Amino acid sequence: MTLPDGAVDKGSKSFKDKKEAQEFKVQVEKRAKQIKETVFVEAVFLDDAVEQWKDFCLGYTEPTRYLYILLVEKFIEFLDGEVVYISDLETSDINTFLNSLMKRGIANSSVNNSLTSIKSLCSYMSENYKIANPAQGIKKLKEGDIDANYWSMEEYQRVLMKSPDFARRCRTEIRLERGAQYGYCPVPF
């Protein structure tokens, strides 16, 4: 058969070597399987996904929901419109944001709060839109011990005697050398 461009179609591909034919067959079947398993996802705007995630956040407690939404909005603001579709969000975008927080001197615990919020958003998008989770594998930062100087019982008693009003107002900030929790006061006011 002659094709419109003048070439002669000799039919399907033929192989001289049986091994070559089998390798070709394996490749074709592998590719067919990949195409069959591929999930084609409609392009979803990141802003739309965030709004739907906010509805999902109604399942969280009010303080958690407020914090998550606030921190994710800061992340979206940081992206500055460079990521339009959820499929465009990459691990590097998240890492760049977290690095910018650290460069500004934000405490590791606050950076971790931002990461947790972003992971919530990314998990939601991954589950609901069948995309790879860009936050997967990003680990939290180590949070060090609080650098605190504790008062001895003697120092505490002195403050109590000299300035009872001050001690009463600031009792949540008073730290005893025993490492008492904030708000704990061994002497009733």
Instruction: Give the confidence band of 108 by pLDDT, cuts at 50, 70, 90.
Output: very high
User: Any idea what DSSP says for residue 170?
Assistant: T
The pLDDT of residue 188 is above 50: no
* Segment among 4-8, 68-72, 80-84 with least mean pLDDT: 4-8
Distance separating alpha carbons of residues 188 and 186, to the nearest angstrom: 6
Q: Whole-prediction pTM value?
A: 0.58
- Beta carbons within 10 angstroms of residue 111's beta carbon: 20
DSSP H helical segments within 41-163, as ranges?
Answer: 46-56, 62-79, 91-103, 108-129, 153-162
Distance separating alpha carbons of residues 44 and 187, to the nearest angstrom: 60
